[in-house]
């Protein structure tokens, strides 16, 4: 890590929880390798404190932050400007402080697409994909998959109405991509599984060791791949089950690194050294 001084810039991440985040490790490694005088720190921000935390970015001259669960959607109301892509997604994961003018971006979509290709050899064009969850990460995934030409995207959520709302909203933007909404109960969810190419968990399920207990594995197409945006030192229950059944899998580490590289560029105007972020978070997972 760079030596701290009175000129050291501050970057960080807002989340609740945030102690598990690997972003500080990978961003500080990249900053040091690039010779940038800045430090990246985690900020535990509870939902009721989000407005004050965003205001503090200006007062403390913090250069920018990442935004993670559960703030990606609610933070939009507190920013001065939203990048058009992030506005279309309806979620922000990166804030840039430009002399007190706070601009929101979303780098999750490009991070997901890069990781799917690198880690699973999956390009979404023409594919049938199911998203689990209907929050901010789902919105970014949905927008990116539509833009990449997916043939069909289903959204399955415990509260089915949230999935239906996303289908209604994005149907106008998704020419060429058929959309459908589902609940998470096994009976309803089994309907599309036999024709799927890919299942992506966009929810926080698995972050604390939870599992999708009712997922109807026996209905899932044999050639499907499973991607979990959640990452864990060992593995998530979703991926553990998928691997035991012979499915190709990948966790969210590749996406984390790729979206982090884009955020780094937005903050600094410099591309981070190639591969540094992913190598550092892989090492962190081994140490943990």
Active site residues: 72
> Helix 276-287 to helix 253-268 angle, to the nearest 10 degrees?
130
Residue 271: DSSP 8-state: P
Token reading at 70:
């559960």
d(CA 63, CA 133): 31
- Give the Å distances, CA to CA, from 60 to 8, 53, 74, 80, 264: 12, 10, 21, 17, 19
Q: Which residue has the tokens 């030596």?
A: 3
Listing DSSP states for 175-224 in one string gives TT-EEEEE-SSHHHHHHHHTT-SEEEE-SSTTTTS---TT--GGGS-TT-
The angle formed by the CA atoms of residues 25, 132 and 70, to the nearest 5 degrees, is: 50
Of all helices (H) and strands (E), which one includes residue 168? helix 160-171
Report cis status (omega within 30 of 0) of the bond before 197: no
Give me the phi and psi of 153, to 5 degrees please.
-130, 125
Of all helices (H) and strands (E), which one includes residue 163? helix 160-171
Residue 164: Cβ within 10 Å count: 18
Beta bridge pairs of residue 97: 102
């Amino acid at each position: 890590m760079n030596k701290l001084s009175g000129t050291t810039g501050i970057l960080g991440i807002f989340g609740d929880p945030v102690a598990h985040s690997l972003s500080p490790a990978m961003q500080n490694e990249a900053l040091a390798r690039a010779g940038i005088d800045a430090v990246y720190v985690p900020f535990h921000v509870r939902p009721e404190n989000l407005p004050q935390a965003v205001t503090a970015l200006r007062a403390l001259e913090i250069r920018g932050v990442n935004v993670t669960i559960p703030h990606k959607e609610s933070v939009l109301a507190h920013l001065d400007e939203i990048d058009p892509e992030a506005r279309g997604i309806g979620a922000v994961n990166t804030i840039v402080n430009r002399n007190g003018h706070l601009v929101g971006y979303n780098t999750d979509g490009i991070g997901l697409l890069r990781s799917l290709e690198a880690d699973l050899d999956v390009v979404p064009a023409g594919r049938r994909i199911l998203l689990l969850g209907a929050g901010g990460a789902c919105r970014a995934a949905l927008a990116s998959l539509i833009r990449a030409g997916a043939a069909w995207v289903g959204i399955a959520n415990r509260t089915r109405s949230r999935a239906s709302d996303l289908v209604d909203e994005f149907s106008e933007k998704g020419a060429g991509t058929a959309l459908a909404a589902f609940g998470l109960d096994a009976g309803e969810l089994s309907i599309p599984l036999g024709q799927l190419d890919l299942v992506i968990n966009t929810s926080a399920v698995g972050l604390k060791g939870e599992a999708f207990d009712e997922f109807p594995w026996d209905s899932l197409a044999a050639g499907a791949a499973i991607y979990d945006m959640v990452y864990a030192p060992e593995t998530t229950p979703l991926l553990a089950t998928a691997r035991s059944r012979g499915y190709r899998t990948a966790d969210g580490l590749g996406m984390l690194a790729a979206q982090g590289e884009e955020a780094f560029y937005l903050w600094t105007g410099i591309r981070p050294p190639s591969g540094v972020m992913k190598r550092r978070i892989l090492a962190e997972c081994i140490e943990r």
